[in-house]
Structure 1
Amino acid sequence: MNPRLQISPTVCHGKPVIKGTRVLVSTILGALSGGDSIQTVLEDYPSITAEDIAAALEFASRLSDYQTSDYEAVA
């Protein structure tokens, strides 16, 4: 996992956050998918950087490729 991110049971119920903040990765992803620009997200969350946003996007990309269990293909 990217060192800019943190997952700890004592921070935001174990949800991934930007390290050293309580800014959830899901909050960043939600803002971007809702149409906010990176600049707007940075203005809304001054404790994070563009590199933190890139780390959140990388985390989401890797998570979407992660297979948690075997499943039967449906044709």
Structure 2
Amino acid sequence: MIYQHIVSAPGVLGGKPCIKGTRISIELILETVANGASVADIVREFPQLSVEAVQEAVRYAIHALRSERIIDVDMAA
């Protein structure tokens, strides 16, 4: 899959994937979503991001999870 807004470089954030031209990681965007923020909230908080870049970050994470090993989650905990 080709991503227009996401890059990963060893010298930037230790190689973590981030939004091109920023030091805003995909991880930070996902944490913000997990804390209840909408795409509009994220774009307001980080005006250097576009709606498309935030949406692509979420799609990137979905794609990454599809190709990762599943971790067993104990629902009783």
Give the TM-score range, shorter chain. Answer: 0.7 to 0.9
CA distance in structure 1 between the aligned counterparts of 2:16 and 2:68, rounded to whole angstroms: 19
- 1:1-75 equivalences in 2 (<5 Å): 1-67=2-68
| Number of equivalenced pairs | 68
Unaligned residue ranges in structure 2 (runs of 5+): 70-77
Q: TM-score, normalised by structure 1?
A: 0.84
- Sequence identity (%): 26
CA distance in structure 2 between the aligned counterparts of 1:27 and 1:49, rounded to whole angstroms: 15
Alpha carbons 2:6, 2:20 under 8 Å: kept = yes
Runs of 4+ in 1 over 4 A off after TM superposition: none
Q: TM-score, normalised by structure 2?
A: 0.82
Alpha carbons 2:39, 2:55 under 8 Å: kept = no
Please give the root-mean-square deviation of Cα atoms over the aligned residues, in Å: 1.2
